[in-house]
Amino acid sequence: MWILRTVPGRSAPLALAVLGSIMTLPSLPGHATTFTPPQGCRLEVTVQNRGCTVSQIYRCESDPKGDQRSTIFNEDGPTHHSRIDAETRWIESSDPDSGIQDRLVEEARDHASFGTLLRTGYDDFDFWTESNTGERLHHVGHDELTGEKVTIDGVELEKTRFELTTTDVNGEVLIQRSGQQFINRAMGRFFGGIEKMNDWTGQRQDTNDSPVLFSFPGEKGFGETTPQFDCGQIVAQLNHERAQL
């Protein structure tokens, strides 16, 4: 399960949380910045995605073996940090704007397992996360391989289907997500795709975060933090939604 859009902004409806990150118009052309990972970390790949984001995927010597980190940028800068383990469990994630940090609760009915997904084609999960504000969230769902393979920018990916429901401690449904994502076995991780999201206010969102370009060390675009795809479309969508208010 790819975690960019886990539960954006619990103090505001989903629409505000998603649109809040894109409310500024595209910045004027300037000097592109290059991502530098923290000391002791090594950047492995930069991924340009649909939906006006670019992902930096890196590993750090101080983390347990198999862990990966990512920082995701939109036009205004970093919007999401996360760390997963070798089983793609959501170890921790944070929003640099709100300061909210979420960590995996170790005790779980059924942790996510990338290995199970690869062996059997299906993996269900049932676990909790806890934020630095003390909020606990319950995540239940599944991932399954569709059997379809695609090649994007020279990288072979396998398509998945998923469903995810996130509730609070009282069982109130906060977010429901479903759709299609991608995995790469060699990289040991998920990548975004096309999905639908509903939040507790009734707001619905259709998103496409599919990867478009992969840049590895020494290649053009490696470390680039300026997103390239769909940025104008997002602004047009925002203007359309404002007109409906």
Sign for the CA dihedral angle at 45, 49, 54, 55 comes to negative
pTM of structure? 0.84
- pLDDT tens for each residue of 105-129: 999 999 999 999 999 999 999 999 9
What is the pLDDT averaged over residues 68-76? 97
The whole-angstrom separation of Cα 177 and Cα 209 is 14
- pLDDT tens for each residue of 31-49: 468 999 999 999 999 999 9
Weakest-pLDDT range from 46-60, 76-90, 189-203, 228-242: 228-242
Domain boundary assignment for the chain: 38-243
- The pLDDT-based confidence of 232 (bands split at 50, 70, 90) is confident
